[in-house]
C-alpha cells in the first residue's frame, strides 16, 4: 500500500480535502476512499473507519452541513512519497511491516486524527528536519477527545494520546488551510518526530 502526497488515485486514500472550499467535491466523495481509488478499502470496507465520530467540523453545501469524508491521515514515513520535511535520502521509510524497526512497530504511529483545517491529502506531515528551537508543526493533530487524538500504531494497537503544549493546537481559523508554522521546543512535535521515523 502506498502513501503518496497530494491528490492522487494510487494511495491508501485518494483525493484532496479542503474545509474552506465547499466546492471541493472530494470533501464528501466516498469514492476517494473506496476501490479502485482507495487502496486500503479491500482490507477495511467500512467508511466509518475513516472518520472520527468526535470530529465536529462540517462542510456546508447548499445550506446543508456534511462531515468530511475522512478525518485521519497516515504517517508520511510509512511507505510515503518524497517530501521536503523528511527527505527519503535522510529518513527511514519502510514499505512493509518487517522493515519497521526504527522506531519499531509498537512505537511507529500509523494513523492519526488530523484537524479539519489541516487535513487535505492522506499524508500526515511531521517535520523531521527542524527540531528543538527551530521545530515546525507540519500537519495539526486533532484534539477531539478532550485535548487528545486517537492514534494507531504499526503493531495494530491504538491509544488516545494527550497533546501537552497548547501551541500544538493553534486556534482554528475558518476557511483557512494551515501550513507549516514554527513552534520552538514543542514537546508534542518532539513526540511526533520520535514516533514517525529516524535518520537513515
- Is residue 179 over pLDDT 80? no
Cβ-in-10-Å burial (0-12, 13-18, 19+) of 42 comes to: exposed
Residue 81: partners with Cβ closer than 8 Å, 6 or more residues away: 2, 3, 4, 5, 123
Encode pLDDT of 2-41 as tens digits.
898 887 778 999 999 998 888 999 999 999 999 999 999 9
- Round to whole Å and give the CA distance between 32 and 15: 6
Taking every pair of Cα atoms in the chain, the longest distance, rounded to a whole number of angstroms, is 50
- Round to whole Å and give the CA distance between 27 and 58: 9
Q: What's the predicted TM-score (pTM) here? A: 0.94
- Round to whole Å and give the CA distance between 8 and 162: 32
What does 50-98 look like in DSSP terms, one character per residue? GS-TT---EEEETTEEEE-S--EEEETTSSB---TTS-TTTB---SSGG
User: What's residue 178's pLDDT?
Assistant: 72
Cis peptide before 20, with omega less than 30 degrees from 0? no
- Is residue 138 over pLDDT 70? yes
Encode pLDDT of 51-90 as tens digits.
999 999 999 888 999 999 999 999 999 999 999 999 999 9
Question: Running DSSP on this structure, what letter comes out for residue 18?
Answer: -
- Round to whole Å and give the CA distance between 197 and 200: 9
What does 103-159 look like in DSSP terms, one character per residue? S-TTTSEEEEEB-TTT--SSEE----SS-GGG-EE-SPBP-TTTSEEEEEETTS-EE
User: What's residue 173's pLDDT?
Assistant: 76
- Is residue 199 over pLDDT 70? yes
Average pLDDT for the chain: 93
* Separation in Å, CA 119 to CA 51, 53, 57, 71: 12, 16, 12, 7
User: What's residue 175's pLDDT?
Assistant: 67
CB 119 within 8 A of CB 68: yes
Encode pLDDT of 160-172 as tens digits.
999 999 999 988 8
The three three-digit cell numbers of residue 194, written as one number: 520520535
Amino acid at each position: 500500500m502506498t502513501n503518496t502526497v497530494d491528490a492522487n488515485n494510487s494511495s491508501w486514500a485518494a483525493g484532496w480535502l479542503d474545509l474552506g472550499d465547499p466546492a471541493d467535491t472530494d470533501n464528501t466523495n466516498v469514492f476517494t476512499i473506496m476501490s479502485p481509488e482507495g487502496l486500503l478499502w479491500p482490507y477495511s470496507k467500512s467508511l466509518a473507519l475513516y472518520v472520527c465520530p468526535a470530529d465536529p467540523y462540517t462542510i456546508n453545501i447548499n445550506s446543508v452541513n456534511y462531515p468530511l469524508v475522512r478525518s485521519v491521515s497516515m504517517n508520511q514515513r510509512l511507505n510515503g512519497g518524497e517530501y521536503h520535511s523528511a527527505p527519503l535520502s535522510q529518513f527511514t521509510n519502510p514499505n512493509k511491516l518487517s522493515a519497521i524497526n526504527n522506531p519499531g512497530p509498537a512505537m511507529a504511529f500509523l494513523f492519526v486524527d488530523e484537524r479539519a483545517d489541516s487535513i487535505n491529502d492522506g499524508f500526515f506531515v511531521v517535520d523531521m528536519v527542524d527540531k528543538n528551537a527551530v521545530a515546525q508543526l507540519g500537519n495539526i493533530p486533532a484534539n477531539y477527545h478532550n485535548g487528545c487524538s486517537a492514534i494507531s500504531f504499526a503493531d495494530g494497537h491504538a491509544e488516545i494520546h494527550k497533546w501537552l503544549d497548547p501551541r500544538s493546537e493553534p486556534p482554528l481559523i475558518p476557511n483557512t488551510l494551515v501550513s507549516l508554522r514554527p513552534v520552538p521546543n514543542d514537546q508534542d512535535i518532539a513526540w511526533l518526530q520520535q514516533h514517525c521515523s529516524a535518520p537513515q
